[in-house]
Amino acid sequence: MFDELDIYKQSGHFIFRRGQSLLMVSKDVPESAGIYMIYLLRKGKVELAYIGASGTINQKGKFSTQLLKGRINNKQDGIKRQAFFEENMEKDTSIEALDIYWYVTFEKNIQHLPGYVEAILLQRYFDVHGCLPEWNKKFPT
């Protein structure tokens, strides 16, 4: 669905399961500016639950806050992401795991602002589904 992500060479993903440390399973995520997507692995199906961006750029072109690793491990809906994931997996026991993909969108050869890429992906999702992913409460955030 998101072929435009193929241009980002620095990317990866990890699986988060109940009882795991989010900080440990995300240890290889770089502190770089980019986007991330959280997929629910539920009943043998894969469902996109969230599209997020990391990195706030200032007027001088420098990123000042929460790059990918920090953003993935920070908060969602006012609680630590580790707890947010655990609570949602506890409420919906059909969620077997989360598959979290990340993409560095701003580097030497390609300098796409993460918020811009996030907006494109959310628009494409909206065009297909008529709504935002389950855990994206609003846009812009």
In a domain, 137, yes or no: no
In a domain, 134, yes or no: no
In a domain, 140, yes or no: no
- Report which of 21, 80, 16, 10 is spatially closest to residue 49, judged by C-alpha positions: 16
| Number of domains the chain contains | 1
Three-class SS state of 99: strand
Q: Which pLDDT tens digit goes with each residue over 102-123?
A: 999 999 999 999 999 999 999 9
Output the pLDDT for position 113: 96
* Residue 83 structural domain: 3-129
Output the pLDDT for position 1: 73
In a domain, 139, yes or no: no
Please list, residue by residue across 10-32, b when 16 or more beta carbons sit within 10 angstroms of its beta carbon and e when fewer do.
ebeebebeeebebeebbeebeeb
Q: Which pLDDT tens digit goes with each residue over 38-51?
A: 999 999 999 999 99
Contact present, 96 and 46 (Cβ < 8 Å): no
- Report which of 91, 83, 82, 121 is spatially closest to residue 105, judged by C-alpha positions: 121
